């Protein structure tokens, strides 16, 4: 009852699958006695790309657990399951249907994570003939206006400088006006291979409860043609479990996070990474609490500065930066293809056999877990997509659907900007291109490979070796004058014409046979 004694007209609050946070802006200020929260599992969100089965199961199960928690707190929650007979198939239709059946004064939303949905939501008020309010998503530490202000007048938008501003603004790892330890960045200490004798802690696994089991059966039935293994399923699906993962990371993995951040190892899918991106991106954890937990570990001497700074940089720096960049540059950003790359994605990205052991391992990890760690995404799969000149649309679609942490605000800048250089250098000052020797330096993959990483040309040569030089030759017009690439182009200059021709010939043969090789 309002002060006047009359019941005020209800608000309808829509909570999306990646907005599972109790103090979400749209939920704050709701009146439990009148307002209604709607959550809906819908075909449009589950199939606009054919998400990995595990990703759909994770999101649906986390949504259902969150809806129960909201009900337990006294909210009136309407939850539409995917297989409800009345399911309308898309978020707009679910909202429109409710407005027809009940009287609502306003629809309240939190800013979505993808431009396509934001563009759609901007039409809702006119179409629904009801006030629609979209609230800023305050779970991020940099709002869109802050990023725009920072970007204003800058020719280059480098993450490192944004990150320093964020450290100062939020007073993270700061000693008065100086960075703790005297340096902003400790990456030079973070490039070690993982020695055999170092034991990697087992990641936390959660046994599916009745809610998750029901979702697993649903996903098995409805999304059988989607990529990826549904089982075993052991993700955290509620905040309490996500906090267990966070605490275990801080205690068991964070101390080694920095040192082995770039390492890769055969059959080791999780290493010393945090595996928190799933939970951060759907809202079960907030970036603030994760950053604070890591910072605290340094202050109590539970983890070294290279690890803590390196980890915090990923969240306070990269995560906030890519989101800022996304909203600053969309929708044009999505259409970028600076290098005019146009090859189709090879079959082995979908699990067909390949002799490239590093690629095969990273795709296996991705298929089984809907996860791969950063260096696998960047320096194996991403590096291959860059060197092979794969069409950015195809690469973006693949990354968006295969990873359980993938939403366009974070996926697109990492693919278009970081791995493909398709934005022409807005995100990166030079392409992350590398030959087989980088992969050999950071992993043991080459030991298990059909190819020989030491050979540059010939049938046994590691394809990354000749594809790397081929990439530099083919894209000389774009990169030969880049000061950060002058050394590598001077080495290329010294190669004979015959050598360059041989590199190009073997690369052409490789591309011609790319899907045939997969079958042998």
Instruction: Provide the binding-site residues for ligand DLZ, judged by CB under 6 A.
Output: 16-18, 40-42, 45-46, 51, 56, 59, 112-114, 117, 407
Enter the tokens of residue 226: 């989607």
Token representation of residue 314 = 């990923």
Site string for ligand SF4, 415-454 (x = CB under 6 A): ---------------------x--xx----xx--x-x-x-
Rounded Cα–Cα distance for residues 484 and 430 (Å): 7
Residue 275's binding partner out of ligand FAD, ligand DLZ, ligand SF4, none, with CB under 5 to 8 Å set by partner kind: ligand FAD
- How far apart are CB 497 and ligand FAD at their closest, in Å? 35
Q: Is 357 in the site for ligand SF4 (CB under 6 A)?
A: yes
Region near ligand SF4 per CB under 6 A, out of 155-163, 195-203, 324-332, 356-364: 356-364
Choose the one of ligand SF4, ligand DLZ, ligand FAD, none that binds residue 445, judging by a C-beta under 5 to 8 angstroms depending on kind.
Answer: ligand SF4
DSSP conformational letter for 35: -
Kindly state the smallest distance separating residue 357's Cβ from ligand SF4, in Å: 4
C-beta closer to ligand SF4: residue 137 or 444: 444
DSSP string, 447-478: GG-SSBTT--SSTTB-HHHHHHHHHHHHTHHH
CA distance 188 to 261: 11
Half-sphere exposure of 50 (CA within 13 A, CB side): 9
Provide the minimum distance between the beta carbon of 62 and ligand FAD in the complex, in angstroms, as a whole number: 15
Nearer to ligand FAD, 92 or 403 (CB): 403
401 half-sphere exposure, CB direction, 13 A CA radius = 22
**Residue 263 engages ligand SF4 in binding (rule: CB under 6 A):** no
Residue 336 has φ and ψ, to the nearest 5°, of: -70, 135
Judged by CB, which is closer to ligand SF4: 276, or 434?
434
Q: Give me 361's structure tokens.
A: 């391992």
Among 135, 169, 374, 495, binds ligand FAD (CB under 6 A): 374
**Shortest Å distance, C-beta 375 to ligand FAD:** 8
Q: What is the 3-state secondary structure (H, E, C) of 117-174?
A: HHHHHCCHHHHHCCEEEEECCCCCCCCHHHHHHHHCCCCCCCHHHHHHHHHHHHCCCE
Distance CA 336, CA 418 (A): 13
Comparison of 139 and 373: residue with beta carbon closer to ligand FAD:
373
Q: 100: closest CA among 89, 88, 109? A: 88
Contact predicate 37/61, CB 8 Å: no
CA-based nearest residue to 41, from 2, 3, 88, 8: 88
Instruction: Kindly indicate which of the ranges 231-239, 335-343, 377-385, 453-461 contains the residues binding ligand FAD, using the contact rule CB under 6 A.
Output: 377-385
Q: C-beta of 79: minimal distance to ligand DLZ in Å?
A: 11
CB of 470 to ligand FAD, least distance (A): 21
Which of the choices ligand SF4, ligand FAD, ligand DLZ, none does residue 313 contact, using the CB cut-off of 5 to 8 A by kind? none
Instruction: Supply 82's token pair.
Output: 């995917």
Interacting residues with ligand SF4 (CB under 6 A): 356-358, 436, 439-440, 445-446, 449, 451, 453, 462-464
User: Could you list the residues that contact ligand FAD (CB under 6 A)?
Assistant: 273-277, 280-281, 311, 314-315, 318-319, 322, 373-374, 377-378, 382, 399, 403, 405-406, 410-411, 414-415, 418-419
């Amino acid at each position: 009852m309002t002060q006047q004694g009359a019941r005020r007209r209800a608000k309808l609050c829509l909570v999306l699958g990646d907005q599972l946070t109790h103090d979400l802006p749209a939920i704050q200020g709701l009146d439990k006695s009148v307002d209604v929260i709607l959550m809906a599992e819908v075909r449009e969100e589950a199939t606009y790309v054919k998400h990995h089965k595990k990703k759909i199961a994770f999101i649906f199960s986390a949504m259902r657990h969150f809806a129960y928690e909201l009900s337990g707190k006294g909210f009136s929650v309407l939850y539409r399951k995917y297989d409800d007979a009345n399911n309308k198939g898309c978020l707009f239709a679910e909202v429109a249907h409710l407005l027809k059946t009940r009287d609502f004064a306003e629809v309240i939303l939190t800013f979505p994570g993808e431009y396509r949905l934001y563009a759609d939501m901007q039409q809702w008020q006119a179409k629904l003939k009801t006030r629609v309010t979209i609230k800023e998503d305050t779970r991020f530490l940099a709002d869109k206006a802050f990023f725009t202000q920072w970007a204003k007048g800058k020719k280059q938008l480098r993450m490192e400088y944004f990150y320093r501003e964020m450290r100062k603004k939020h007073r993270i790892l700061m000693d008065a006006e100086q960075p703790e330890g005297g340096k902003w960045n400790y990456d030079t200490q973070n490039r070690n291979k993982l020695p055999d004798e170092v034991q990697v802690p087992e990641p936390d696994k959660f046994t599916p409860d009745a809610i998750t089991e029901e979702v697993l059966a649903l996903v098995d039935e409805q999304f059988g043609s989607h990529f990826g293994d549904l089982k075993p399923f052991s993700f955290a699906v509620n905040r309490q479990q996500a906090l267990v993962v966070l605490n275990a990371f801080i205690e068991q993995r964070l101390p080694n996070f920095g040192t082995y951040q770039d390492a890769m190892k055969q059959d080791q899918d999780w290493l010393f990474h945090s595996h928190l991106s799933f939970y951060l991106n759907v809202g079960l954890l907030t970036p603030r609490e994760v950053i604070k937990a890591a910072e605290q570990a340094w202050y109590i001497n539970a983890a070294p500065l290279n690890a803590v700074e390196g980890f915090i940089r990923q969240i306070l720096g990269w995560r906030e930066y890519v989101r800022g960049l996304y909203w600053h540059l969309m929708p044009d950003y999505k259409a970028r293809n600076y290098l005019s790359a146009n090859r189709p994605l090879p079959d082995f990205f979908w699990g067909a056999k390949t002799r490239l052991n590093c690629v095969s391992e990273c795709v296996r990890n991705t298929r089984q877990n809907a996860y791969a760690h950063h260096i696998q995404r960047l320096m194996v799969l991403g590096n291959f997509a860059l060197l092979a000149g794969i069409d950015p649309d195809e690469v973006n679609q693949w990354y968006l659907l295969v990873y359980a942490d993938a939403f366009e605000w974070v996926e697109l800048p990492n693919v278009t900007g970081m791995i493909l250089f398709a934005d022409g250098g807005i995100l990166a000052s030079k392409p992350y291109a590398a030959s087989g020797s980088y992969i050999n330096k950071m992993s043991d993959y080459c030991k298990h490979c059909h190819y020989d990483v030491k050979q540059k040309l010939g049938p046994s040569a590691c394809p990354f070796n000749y594809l790397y030089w081929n990439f530099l030759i083919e894209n000389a017009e774009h990169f030969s004058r880049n000061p950060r690439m002058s050394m590598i182009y001077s080495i290329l200059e010294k190669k004979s014409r015959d050598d360059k021709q041989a590199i190009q010939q073997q690369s052409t043969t490789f591309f011609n046979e790319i899907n045939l090789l997969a079958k042998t």
